[in-house]
Amino acid sequence: MISFNVPPFVGTELDFIHQAIDKHKISGDGEFTRKCSEFMEKKFNAKKILLTTSGTSALDMALLLCDLKPGDEVILPSYTFSSTATAAVLCGARLVFVDVRPDTMNIDEEKIERAITPKTRVIIVMHYAGVACEMKKVLEIAKKYNLKIVEDDAQGLMSRYDDKILGTIGDFGCYSFHETKNLSMGEGGAIVINDERFIHRAEILREKGTNRKQFFRGQVDKYTWVDFGDSYLPSELNAAYLWGQLNAADKIFESRMQTWKAYRESFEPLEREGLIELQRIPPECHHNAHMFYLKLKNLDERTKFIKFLRDREIDAVFHYIPLHSAPAGLKFGRFDGEDQFTTKESERLVRLPLYYNMKEKDRNRVIEVVREFFGQN
Ligand SMILES: *Cc1c(COP(=O)(O)O)cnc(C)c1O
């Protein structure tokens, strides 16, 4: 079976994990956590990056930092993972879902403004497949209505929009290092804090409501409970794994991109014949080869396609069921305007196997079987 995903592993991780054990530091905020944060802050040109226990907890932190009141509204796409939405729900907010653009499957920036009410406080954008949302327009709207922007960049680590790294454009950015993402640490994530005024509060929030971070920096002489908080620190064992991954980030990117480009070149003829649609990469977006997807005619053809591949030992998978039609989506939110593309396009989309170090032989087999489905061999 050619798997849909294989978690990234480069080999150096084990040694770093050993080092953490030898140094008797396996809980959070040790040397590896510090190294990972500083490495990313420098590489991404970010003010502050804090590791978290997951992408979901990074989103939870970001929404808590937005300081929402019950009944406030948060705008987000419906075509996303539940974590994007549930962070806002935990803060007592109402969800306002906005349609996606069919070419990138990102929130349609032209449909955001009409969803704004006097209660709107935050726009959450999710950069699907690591391809950036139209951030110029989103920033313009946020400024005009004084809204915060949270970037769910779980999929877009190291992707860029013009010359800016995703996650560093809005007020807060959220990364995931789940085993399905480009870089991993088992379970883990990070929050990017782009407005300095929130760094202090974020550190307290992450450390069970204490000012322990300040204490360790020698800024206060004892630490104490100062506000509400939670524990968002990942273990050093996980951070050590991530440290191995970060040091190989360029190699992992190259490997994924090679597969992505091979798929792209092989399937362009099918697109020209009108048999499939490929994702569009807008010129200002530089993506990270997180995902390769095709769009088929409709749900029926997609079901046949997935079965055809599975019968030939290839695991291809569909993606999100739109949140607004899910039980919790109906309970916590509303869809603004007409669902022109979200449902229809999500039913046509299928993702192909793509992971670090995918064998050329396996990739070529996927290409061959896809072409065979369309009677092209
Ligand atoms: C993976 C993912 C998350 C959640 O990340 P975890 O680390 O699994 O909690 C959130 N949003 C999106 C868009 C994702 O793809």
Is the beta carbon of 189 within 6 A of some atom in ligand 1?
Answer: yes
At residue 155, the pLDDT reads: 98
325 pLDDT above the threshold of 90? yes
CATH number of 13-247: 3.40.640.10
Q: Name the band, by pLDDT with cuts 50, 70 and 90, for residue 60.
A: very high
Domain ranges for the chain, please list them.
13-247, 250-373
Q: What is the C-alpha to C-alpha distance for residues 166 and 131, in angstroms, rounded to an integer?
A: 9
Is the beta carbon of 83 within 6 A of some atom in ligand 1?
Answer: yes
HEC sequence for the chain: CECCCCCCCCCCHHHHHHHHHHCCCCCCCCHHHHHHHHHHHHHHCCCEEEEECCHHHHHHHHHHHCCCCCCCEEEEECCCCHHHHHHHHHCCCEEEEECECCCCCCECHHHCHHHCCCCEEEEEEECHHHCCCCHHHHHHHHHHHCCEEEEECCCCCCCEECCEECCCCCCEEEEECCCCCCCCCCCCEEEEECCHHHHHHHHHHHECCECHHHHHCCCCCCCCECCCCCECCCCHHHHHHHHHHHHCHHHHHHHHHHHHHHHHHHHHHHHHCCCCEECCCCCCEECCCCCCEEECCCHHHHHHHHHHHHHCCECCECCCCCHHHCHHHHHHEEECCCCCCHHHHHCCEEECCCCCCCCHHHHHHHHHHHHHHCCCC
- Closest atom of ligand 1 relative to the 181 alpha carbon: 1
Q: What is the C-alpha to C-alpha distance for residues 55 and 167, in angstroms, rounded to an integer?
A: 12
Percent of the chain residues past pLDDT 90, beyond the cut? 96
Q: Write the burial class of residue 179 (CB in 10 Å: 0-12 exposed, 13-18 middle, 19+ buried).
A: middle
Mean pLDDT, to the nearest integer, of 18-31? 97
Q: What is the C-alpha to C-alpha distance for residues 44 and 7, in angstroms, rounded to an integer?
A: 23
Q: How far is the CA of 175 from the centre of ligand 1 (A)?
A: 8
Q: How far is the CA of 298 from the centre of ligand 1 (A)?
A: 26
Percent of the chain residues past pLDDT 70, beyond the cut? 100
169 pLDDT above the threshold of 90? yes
Is the beta carbon of 54 within 6 A of some atom in ligand 1?
Answer: yes
Mutual orientation of helices 55-65 and 199-206 as an angle, nearest 10°? 130
At residue 247, the pLDDT reads: 98
Is the beta carbon of 84 within 6 A of some atom in ligand 1?
Answer: yes
Lowest mean pLDDT among 202-211, 219-228, 301-310: 219-228
Q: Which of 83, 124, 291, 317 to mutate to test the pocket of ligand 1 (most atoms within 8 A of CB)?
A: 83
Q: Name the band, by pLDDT with cuts 50, 70 and 90, for residue 113.
A: very high
What is the value of pTM for the model shown?
0.97
Q: Convert the pLDDT of each residue in 128-143 to its tens digit.
A: 999 999 999 999 999 9
Mean pLDDT, to the nearest integer, of 251-259? 98
At residue 215, the pLDDT reads: 87
182 pLDDT above the threshold of 90? yes
Q: Convert the pLDDT of each residue in 344-353 to its tens digit.
A: 999 999 999 9
CATH number of 250-373: 3.90.1150.10
377 pLDDT above the threshold of 80? no
Is the beta carbon of 170 within 6 A of some atom in ligand 1?
Answer: no
Q: Name the band, by pLDDT with cuts 50, 70 and 90, for residue 170.
A: very high
At residue 322, the pLDDT reads: 98
Task: Enumerate the β-bridge partners of residue 162.
Answer: none
340 pLDDT above the threshold of 80? yes
Torsion (CA) 123, 128, 134, 136 in degrees, nearest 10: 60
Read off the tokens for 221: 């002489």
Would residue 101 be called left, alpha or beta, if left means φ above 0 and alpha means ψ between -120 and 50 degrees? beta
At residue 213, the pLDDT reads: 87
275 pLDDT above the threshold of 90? yes
The better pLDDT of the pair 221, 43 is held by 43
Q: What is the C-alpha to C-alpha distance for residues 333 and 79, in angstroms, rounded to an integer?
A: 14
Q: How far is the CA of 310 from the centre of ligand 1 (A)?
A: 25
Q: What is the mean pLDDT of the chain?
A: 97
